[in-house]
Amino acid sequence: GQQVQQSPASLVLQEGENAELQCNFSTSLNSMQWFYQRPGGSLVSLFYNPSGTKHSGRLTSTTVIKERRSSLHISSSQTTDSGTYLCALEKGNYKYVFGAGTRLKVIA
Amino acid sequence: EAAVTQSPRSKVAVTGGKVTLSCHQTNNHDYMYWYRQDTGHGLRLIHYSYVADSTEKGDIPDGYKASRPSQENFSLILELASLSQTAVYFCASSTGGSDYTFGSGTRLLVI
């Protein structure tokens, strides 16, 4: 089965709305990371978050190790937030197993 | 500026032909990775390397070889390209933690 499951698969927001993206892991959590994939394809790291809560601007990531889950909260969404959000589970040697992603579209 | 550069950006290959995808990083990172992404899916690890002249198999290595001749360069080789290898390929470098840097990807179409 899939080690990393993301929900929802897709999401459409009106600009200014908030979003909560979920990531669940079927195996024990060593470390994890959230990535953003631009519509053009390239990926950037948003959060390296082994545990706890981290903030960056309008983004907040919360990882709960015991529950094997992580969430990404986007507040006051903007059209430039559109793209795909991927969570990934570290499997040692900084190798990652990725979820299928959440495709976000923010409309003005 | 530190970066990961992939070449070519896109390629059309014939079934049974040989394909080489190249990756160059200026981050001074020890770890390098090759992932593939199929439409609508996340990334899957093909090969990785943590030191020059050594490569390791990832989760889906069948049909692929890798070469790491220097710290900066990491290639992915498809000796006999097949239709199922049509995908977008991403190279990445890392020393661990949040400094995971991806290239822009190579779109490979095998016909």
Q: Dig out the tokens for B40 from the structure.
A: 């609508």
Q: What is the CA radius of gyration of chain B?
A: 13
Among chain B residues, CA nearest to A5: B42
> Does A28 touch chain B if contact means CB atoms closer than 8 Å?
no
In this model, does residue B82 exceed pLDDT 90? yes
A contact test, residue of B102, B106, B107, B108 with most A CBs within 10 A: B102
> Pairing relation of β-strands A59-64 and A4-7?
unpaired
pLDDT, position B87: 97
Task: Tokens 């669940």: give the residue.
Answer: A24
pLDDT, position B1: 63
CB contact under 8 A, B33 and A41: no
In this model, does residue B55 exceed pLDDT 90? yes
Nearest to A94 among B94, B102, B104 (CB): B94
CB contact under 8 A, A94 and B31: yes
CB contact under 8 A, A96 and B45: yes
pLDDT, position B97: 64
pLDDT, position A93: 75
Gap between the Cα atoms of A86 and B42, Å rounded: 7
Phi and psi torsions of B85, nearest 5°: -90, 5
CB contact under 8 A, B43 and A98: yes
Gap between the Cα atoms of A15 and B80, Å rounded: 47
Contact residues, chain B, for A35 at CB < 8 Å: 100, 102
Task: Tokens 């082994």: give the residue.
Answer: A50
Which residues, in sequence order, are CB contacts of A53 under 8 Å at separation 6+? Answer: A60, A61, A62, A63
Shortest distance between the Cα of A94 and any Cα of chain B, in A, equals 6
> Does A41 touch chain B if contact means CB atoms closer than 8 Å?
yes
Lowest mean pLDDT among A3-12, A32-41, B49-58: A32-41
Residues B7-54: tens digit of each pLDDT:
999 999 999 999 999 999 999 999 999 999 998 788 999 999 999 999
In this model, does residue A30 exceed pLDDT 90? no
pLDDT, position A88: 93
Q: Which of residues 48-67 of A touch B (CB under 8 A)?
A: 48
More confident residue, B100 or B67: B67
Contact residues, chain B, for A101 at CB < 8 Å: 41-42
